Amino acid sequence: MFRSINVVSGEVLFEREPQTWQAFFKQFHHLRVKQQEYASLSVPPRTALLSKLADKLSCHRERLAEMICEEVGRCLRECLAELDKSIELIRYYVRLAPELLAHKTIATQASLSQVRFEPLGVVLAVMPWNYPVWQVLRFAVPALCAGNACVVKPAPSVAGVTAALFELVGDDLPFQAAWLTDNDTLKAIEVCDALAFTGSTETGRYLAAHAGWHLKKTVLELGGSNAFIVMPDADLEQAAKDACYSRFRDAGQSCNAAKRIIVTEAVAEDFITLFLSECAKLKIGNPKHHETSLAPLHRQDLRERVHTQVEDAVKNGAELLCGGYIESGPGWFYPATVLDKVTPEARVYREEVFGPVAVLLRATDPEHAVELANDNPFGLGASIYSADEAAAWRYAEKLQTGAVYINRHTSSDLRLPFGGVKASGYGRELSEFGLYEFVNVKSYWQK
């Protein structure tokens, strides 16, 4: 069942049954035909259709943001920011796609040789619940620019937002929702031409293995446990503010958040004092209220998992500096929690913590800080705070991640590729590199 629930009140907001495989298969064949017609268009008419979608999203920005707030639980201002970034994403590719997808003539011994970027066909996306508009469009917009059709299997708990989004999409674009069961999702991978997945590493491995068996192109954006490294010469006040913001925004439910805060011993005590002071300013409450800065978690089972991870850390020697208890009352709230002196035996040392829990690790020196950062299965992003920018760049080159931010918390920029290594997945989204993920880079040679 696809069912959206108000995370504060528990009210059911939207529900629908999954579609049958027969219904999806019919939808898929119609989409296949539509994709071929759409791919025959040049790039400017495609981007013109996307530009209209951006205008529609802009007109319905407040309504969609409120729906995300209710269904996901994130603060309303964070949901508005998601819509703004999604609209900006579309307009970014509308501007750049004609240039980036233009045929490239290459000088060879041929009279004419070119590289062209042609669509793969129908791309299936299996999407998460935490950013139900941004995640979908981050994958789909560049794929649509390239002439692909996109079909999206949404997370069951954000069905209402998904339905509202695709109501705005309408019939102009080859871009549709697929209300599939898990088993039928595997069958959909087999008939589609490529797969984009954002979600947990465990599920990503499973879907990618199935796609690999059927030789389908995949892009995986999986979990993250980003290191936030505080060097001895860092601006501690700024680092503490940024670490608090990055760890606790979106109630800690972001793959790209600072999750492991690695502090060199020389400044550990001073930094932790400043960090705890910033954490104390966070206000738990209704995510629609302006003064709320720490929203509830999305589901009860997610809160239980986070709390179990915290209890395990304490059992294995970590020191609980604040938080670490289940909030009473309606809504799946969890307080800002800080664990110091976390040991390698604790689950949080290696697992992703998808909630408002900061893991503090103490490093003896900068080299040890880099070792701790790399001693983790994930490799999405990392931050380094240091007054010595040249040294920070040298350490950044040693980090096994898809991105490094110097004197800023990890984020994403439309103009830069986004993705990770190791258990954080492979492939890239955003920028020109994201545009080229779902194309056939095809060579032409004429005697």
Domain annotation covers residue 199: yes
The pLDDT assigned to 251 comes to 97
The average pLDDT across 121-144 equals: 98
Question: What backbone torsions phi and psi does residue 146 show, to the nearest 5 degrees?
Answer: -80, -5
Is 412 a member of any domain?
no
Q: Is the pLDDT of residue 54 over 90?
A: yes
What CA–CA distance (Å, rounded) separates 37 from 268?
60
Residue 305 identity (one-letter amino acid): R
**Residue 255: active-site member:** yes
CATH number at residue 256: 3.40.309.10
Query: How far apart are alpha carbons 233 and 70 in whole angstroms?
Result: 42
The reply to whether 322 and 385 lie within a common domain is yes
**Domain-embedded: residue 413:** no
Q: Which amino acid is at 299?
A: R
Express each pLDDT in 306-318 by its tens digit.
999 999 999 999 9
Q: Do 15 and 84 lie in a common domain?
A: yes
Task: Quickly state the pLDDT bin for 327 (edges 50, 70, 90).
Answer: confident
249 with 208, same domain: the answer is no
Q: Is the pLDDT of residue 74 over 90?
A: yes
- pLDDT at 180 (0 to 100): 98
What is the pLDDT averaged over residues 190-208?
A: 98
Determine how β-strand 194-198 pairs with β-strand 421-422: unpaired
Active-site annotation holder among 69, 145, 192, 255: 255
**Residues 82, 14 share a domain:** yes
- The whole-angstrom separation of Cα 243 and Cα 405 is 13
Report DSSP letters for 346-392, one per residue: SHHHHS---SSEEEEEEESSHHHHHHHHHSSSEESEEEEE-S-HHHH
| Domain-located, residue 311 | yes
Q: What is the structure's pLDDT at 36?
A: 98
d(CA 275, CA 297): 22
pLDDT digits (tens, 9 = 90+) for 102-122: 999 999 999 999 999 999 999
- What residue numbers bound the domain in which 348 lies? 226-406
Query: Does residue 354 carry a pLDDT above 90?
Result: yes
Task: Give the total number of structural domains in the chain.
Answer: 2
Active site residue 221: yes
Q: Are 190 and 271 in a shared domain?
A: no
Domain containing residue 436: CATH number? 3.40.605.10
pLDDT per position as a tens digit, 380-393? 999 999 999 999 99
**Per-residue pLDDT tens for 250-275?**
999 999 999 999 999 999 999 999 99
Q: Distance between CA atoms of 1 and 19, rounded to whole angstroms? A: 10
The pLDDT value given to residue 328 = 85
Q: Is residue 419 part of a domain?
A: no
pTM of the complete model beyond 0.75: yes
Tell whether 434 and 343 lie within a shared domain: no
Q: 24: pLDDT confidence band, cut at 50, 70 and 90?
A: very high
Q: Do 245 and 151 share a structural domain?
A: no
* Residue pointed to by tokens 């898809």: 402
Residue 265 sits in the same domain as residue 122: no
* Helix, coil or strand: residue 447: coil
Of 70, 78, 82, 221, the active-site residue reads 221
Question: What does the pLDDT average to over 322-351?
Answer: 95
Which candidate, 80, 378, 366, places its Cα nearest to that of 200? 378
Per-residue pLDDT at 175 exceeds 90: yes
How far apart are the C-alpha atoms of 81 and 94, rounded to whole Å? 20
Same domain, 237 and 209: no
Rounded to the nearest angstrom, the gap between the alpha carbon of residue 160 and the centroid of all alpha carbons in its chain is 20
Q: What is the pLDDT of residue 329?
A: 85
